Structure 1
Amino acid sequence: MLLNAVLSRFLTATPLAVAARGALEYALATDAVDALFDQTVGPRAGRTLLFSTCVDLMSTVVCRIHPSIHAAARATPDLPVTVSDVYARRNRMPSAAGAALVRHTAARLEPVLRAMGGAAPDRLPGYRLKILDGNHVAKTPRRLQPLRDVAAGPLPGQTLVVLDPALGLALDIVCSDDGHAQERALLGPIVASVAPRDVWLGDRNFCTTGFVFGVSDRGGYFVLRRHASTLSWDHESDWQAAGRTATGTLTEQTLTLIGPGGATLVVRRVRLTLDRPTEDGDTVIEIVTNVPVAVADAGAIADLYLERWTVEPLFQRLTTVLQCEVNTLGYPAAALFGFGVAVACGNVYAVVAAAARVAHPTAAPLSDYHIGLEIATILPGLDIAVPADTWDVIREWSAAQMAAWLIAVARRAKVARYRAAKRGPKKPKPRRTRFAAKKHVATARILKDIRT
């Protein structure tokens, strides 16, 4: 346990903020982050503004400690360059640097999560699930001179995120500075990263001939919603009944897909006929997979496909707890760098949340909002009150030491402070017909009419 009299007070009052500060030090140690940048972009002698400094500044923004890079820079007394220099570096930051940062934090924190027992059980023992999803970075204000007279919303980029649902960690991101880029155009690096016995889950946008054959050629597997027009085959078997799930009935057949150069691939097509249509009005969902039936039958494949929705809480956490889309970052390089730092910080948050779950296994679900609020409000004071060198020892800890420390700190948390509120059933939105001809109406007058 770290020894510091002032730190002990924080450990008593706000332990999860202390856990987050320690996890940030472990995952984003200065020397390791700078070495990562040199490996990714190339070393450069005489660099004054280090990559680790840029990451530190951006992390305070995405963690909602400071509202902007300008405010973060102004609050850093020993910054070796001007704010303008920070802007210049941020606006030309290579997208590969942010992606490398995400991979670094995932590799650093995965052993910690496993050591603390924070990973969920494998859905397919012996296989590793990876969920693939795309995210358009939100449009930005038109602060850049070339955008001042643009009527359309300016999009700074497009990303793909790879999530391990068992760990809750984002393993990788792929970035494009073209906000109109199709998600499929970014699949090349994803295919190159496929490892044997990976099982890739994704929606219909990723169900392409190149992707399914690329995954299969590298010894991987896929569970993808079928796209109506992207696959072709020369043989299909008869449909066979395959039971039902909680949401509908299942049938299954085999297809022989035709790939590049006449290559073929036998896959299963699982059809789920829903008892109730989806919000989009779909009554049938078709899933294409090459996972052997001995590993997962039709029902397991349908349930597995629904697992891909676990990526949505990740994006929600990046948007609401963190700030993955800083609307002042109009330059694509800056916006994508901010997104990469946010995903890396999201991995740190995932480890802290896992430590809380392990330390309090019988507690009700904890609120991401309240944990994030504590981190954002306490970290500035923690960094002022506790000397920076107090945290240095953490960088050299093993995964087992880090896991034990995080659990010990999380046990101090009073979980009632972080308990998630239960939301009642959604009420139908009423039609807004009163005062339709008026531009504004006084709330006090309406309430007064109700009382009288």
Structure 2
Amino acid sequence: DKAPISIIFRATLERTINPEFINNLYDDVSQKQYTRKLIFSTIFELMNVVVCKIKPSINAAYKENSDNINSSLTAVYDKINGVEIGTSQALVRETSIKMAEVIHSVSGRCEPWIPGYRIKVMDGNCIEATEHRIDELRDTKSGALPGKSLVIYEPELEMATDVFPVEDGHAQERSLLDQVLPTIEKNDVLVMDRNFAVRSFLAGITKQQAYYIVRKHKGLAWSVAGEEKYAGKDEGNKIYEQLCTIEDDNGVSIKVRRIRIELKESIRNGEKELVIFTNLSRSAAPAKLIAEIYRKRWSIETAFQELEAHLHSEINTLGYPKAALFGFCTALIAYNAMAVVKGVLRRVYGEKNIRDNFSVFYMAIHLQMERTGIDMMVEESEWNIFKNMSINNFSVFLVELTEKVNLSHYQKSKQTKRKNRSKAKKEDPYAGHPHVSTARLLRGITP
């Protein structure tokens, strides 16, 4: 009762990514790496407490649990450095399915952007440069990039449901699109930036009976198929719509809609208009809705910011690409578990209330502070009850526990408008003095 959100978070992890599940998944997907004495669930738990900021490093996490780990610290690092990217991807993909099931069961989804369609926002994430701890990096001053990935984010769940990692930090994100295409299902809608406006990829999406909303890339050829017409305004920006065609790799013309947005204010690079292509019908999504959805594409940027701010998603001491990507994927799993918490909160307190007032920042702080105390009070074996609990019983448990949450502990700080201050420069009465005494200034005497 004292820490309901921390209990929900831990129970979700225990149900969706318990040691038995992790080890079985590892055995199924790992191609080269295999288990000796050091089981994979041990490695995951060490990484998990680091990305959740419960422990500052793998070294610190290992020391805390060394009595229960029948391997040396060197063996632990060797295992982490060798985790295959297919394993990291499978962890995110499979656990997101189980966590989404929980959100569905408690009716905790957000309002759909387009009813009847599954929105997937796709964007790339480049892991920050690491420290030069590896021998091969010590002779260069250049930033060492350990990898990047494409992430699929579903706003209805507020979860990252898929990831496509690559070890080469200089790899083109477009090179991963061939991996994305087989995962697209009927009635999916991919919302993407212009980097992904590739003719063959867009044609492939259409062939899957799926849809896209993508900003125009200057290299994407298109032909006019109708007159441009005014379609209304969105937040003061004028919107125009036009039928056009885009050819696939075989020269077959595919009809699409071209949405042009005249911006009231120019964006970062000075551009005054946005052009968006979509193969959604006008009846499914009018032009104003397309413009609104593309604007909300920034929800995935918010997710990346929360990953960086509230979780240790990019551990710059992990120089080996496989290790860095494993850390990033572990952070995605923790982020998704937090999304389950928000899903149950939406069910109990309402979507608008949680969106406007609930702070993920304060939730992350509570999770970090309360974890150690919970581990001391609750025996590890007591969490096993959640592994085999029916989804209905688990949902009832979560809702009942959520009703005990004191939302005032997680209230967002209200931002106030800044006062307009005069930009006129004032003379510094103490110019030439390297220091002043704050206490003297407060008392109104010469500092």
Q: TM-score, normalised by structure 2?
A: 0.92
CA offset at residue 451 of structure 1? 4.3
Q: Deviations over 1:306-326 (max 9, x none)?
A: 121111221122111111011
Alpha carbons of structure 1 residues 46 and 32: separation in structure 2 relative to 1, 3 Å: closer
Deviates more, 1:22-31 or 1:140-149: 140-149
**Which residue of structure 2 aligns with residue 4 of structure 1?**
none
CA distance in 2 between counterparts of 1:110 and 1:53 reads 25
User: Does residue 392 of structure 2 align to residue 400 of structure 1?
Assistant: yes
Could you tell me how far 1:278 is from its partner in structure 2?
2.2
3-state SS, counterpart of residue 68 of structure 2: coil
C-alpha distance in structure 2 between counterparts of 1:314 and 1:432, whole Å: 40
Q: 1-side partners of 2:80 and 2:34: how far apart?
A: 19
**Structure 1, gaps ≥5 residues long:** 1-11
Q: 2: distance between equivalents of 1:340 and 1:179?
A: 16
Alpha-carbon distance, 1:299 to partner: 0.8
Deviation at 1:342, TM superposition (A): 0.4
Q: Once the two structures are superposed, what CA deviation does each residue of 1:182-216 show, in whole Å capped at 9, x if it has no partner?
A: 21111111111110110000111111112211111
Matches within 5 A, 1:136-175: 136-175=126-165
Q: Does 1:194 align with 2:187?
A: no
- Once structures 1 and 2 are overlaid, which stretch shifts more, 305-314 or 355-364? 355-364
The CA distance in 2 between the partners of 1:382 and 1:208, in whole Å, is: 49
Alignment of 1:77-226 (within 5 A): 77-226=67-216
SS at match of 2:386: helix
Of residues 423-432 and 55-64 in structure 1, the stretch that sits farther from structure 2 once superposed is 423-432
Q: In the aligned structure 1, how far is the partner of 2:419 from the partner of 2:294?
A: 29
Q: Check 1:432–1:46 CA distance in 2 against 1; reply closer, same or farther (3 A cut).
A: farther
Which region of structure 1 is more displaced relative to structure 2, 363-372 or 255-264? 363-372
Distance 1:316 1:176 in 2: 21
Distance 2:224 2:291 in 1: 23
Match for residue 7 of structure 1? none
Task: Answer yes or no: is the 8 Å Cα contact 2:108–2:345 preserved in 1.
Answer: no
Determine the structure 1 residue equivalent to 2:441: 448
2:56 alignment counterpart: 67
Q: Once superposed, what is the RMSD of the aligned Cα atoms?
A: 2.4
**CA offset at residue 157 of structure 1?**
0.7
1:33 matched residue in structure 2: 22
Match of 1:337 in 2: 326
Distance 2:406 2:41 in 1: 34
Matched, 1:268 2:268: no
Q: Which one of the candidate residues 25, 36, 41 is aligned to 1:52?
A: 41
Query: Taking structure 1 as reference, are residues 45 and 357 closer, same or farther at Cα in structure 2, changes over 3 Å only?
Result: closer
Q: What are the superposed Cα offsets for residues 328-374 of structure 1, whole Å, 9 maximum, x if unpaired?
A: 11111110000000001111011012222323335661111111111
Deviation at 1:125, TM superposition (A): 1.7
Within 2, Cα distance between the matches of 1:224 and 1:351? Answer: 29
Equivalent pair of 1:129/1:198 in contact (CA under 8 Å): yes
- Which has the larger displacement, 49-58 or 35-44? 35-44
* Alpha-carbon distance in 2 for matches of 1:58, 1:411: 31
Letter in 2 for 1:319: E
Q: Distance in 1 between matches of 2:416 and 2:319?
A: 38
Deviates more, 1:422-431 or 1:175-184: 422-431
Instruction: Give distance in 2, aligned partners of 1:160 and 1:38.
Output: 25
Distance 1:278 1:200 in 2: 23
Question: What is the CA–CA distance in structure 2 between the aligned matches of 1:241 and 1:401, rounded to whole Å?
Answer: 52
Residue aligning to 1:9: none
Seen in structure 2, the aligned counterparts of structure 1 residues 45 and 128 have a Cα distance that, compared at 3 Å, is: closer
**Are 1:372 and 2:361 matched, yes or no?**
no
The one-letter code sitting in structure 1 at the alignment partner of 2:360 is D
> Hey, what does 2:6 align to over in structure 1?
17
CA distance in 2, matches of 1:209, 1:405: 48
Q: Cα deviations across residues 413-446 of structure 1 (Å, max 9, x unaligned)? A: 11111111012236799899999xx9x9547469
Structure 2: gaps spanning 5 or more residues = none
Q: Quick one: structure 1 residues 238 and 29, their matched pair in 2 at CA, closer, same or farther if it must change by over 3 Å?
A: same
